Amino acid sequence: MKIGFIGLGIMGKPMSKNLLTAGYRLVVFDVNAAPMKELSALGAETAASPKEVAAKCDVVVTMLPNSPHVKAVVSGPRGVIEGAGPGKTVIDMSSIAPLASREIASLLAEKGVEMLDAPVSGGEPKAIDGTLSVMVGGKKDVFERCYPLMKAMAASVVRVGDTGAGNVAKLANQIVVALNIAAMSEALVFAAKAGVRPDLVYQAIRGGLAGSTVLDAKAPLVMDRKFSPGFRINLHIKDLGNVLETSREIGVPLPMTAAVMEMMQAIKVDGLGDADHCSLVRHYERMAHIEVNR
């Protein structure tokens, strides 16, 4: 089986490397030449367009920033749809709006191409070590056929329903992560302002009900003032934008998500859009006139 991979950014490049490590034959494409050159040195074949990737491969994986980018790569000029045909499969691992996933799947179905929407969670560190969590929407038989391929990049691969369901699950994930980071930020700023060491508060609460993967991943970074991106504020804003757009379409009020979205927008205005999403703590620090550190 030959696999195509389109989108070699902060997530896509390490995911591609894991596929090579697992022994898959890979054809890659990105608008930037540098990551293609790097993957080529590791044994991947390069292509000049998404169309060429689709023509050469049985399965095409896309890992792109947002819905418009996926639509352009699939159905735009020299897009995947021009090179694909019956029997081929597209696995979109981008985090996009569920309705956009369904629209793209419908276009591909007209050419006999199957599609899974399979967004991931875990950020760059888990993309590098191949322990991502993948949430998948699509036909059960297509999922089962592609499961080993996705498992080569992930610790967990779960089918949650039909097309679009993967992105619904991812958006739910992003709600939980955003609100966890906000809660952690409030708690650590509260402790610091009260004169209690945040690192000791973290150690005291992490083993109880307040403990979480988010707390363990982000609290040490905040206290060490390490805000280089594992997952950028700008990307979380994009995801929460898709959350709120979808929530309006289906009639679900999300007041806490909307509040965190506004705080992230404020952080972006401060010039921190490309910092890690744990930089949300700086919004609280500014309001309280305190800095969280060890």
pLDDT surpassing 90 at residue 182: yes
What pLDDT band is residue 230 in, cutting at 50, 70 and 90?
confident
pLDDT of amino acid 229: 87
Residue type, 275: A
* Residues 163-189, mean pLDDT to the nearest whole number: 97
The CATH code belonging to domain 2-161 is 3.40.50.720
Q: Where are the domains of the chain?
A: 2-161, 168-288
pTM of the model as a whole: 0.88
How confident is the model over 63-75, as pLDDT tens digits? Answer: 999 999 999 999 9
pLDDT surpassing 90 at residue 1: no
* Residues 10-27, mean pLDDT to the nearest whole number: 97
What pLDDT band is residue 231 in, cutting at 50, 70 and 90?
confident
pLDDT surpassing 90 at residue 179: yes
pLDDT of amino acid 165: 97
pLDDT of amino acid 125: 87
247 in helix, strand or coil?
A: helix
What pLDDT band is residue 123 in, cutting at 50, 70 and 90?
confident
- Tell me: domain 168-288, CATH 3.40.190.10, correct? no
Q: pLDDT over 70 for what percent of the chain?
A: 100
User: What positions carry a catalytic annotation?
Assistant: 170
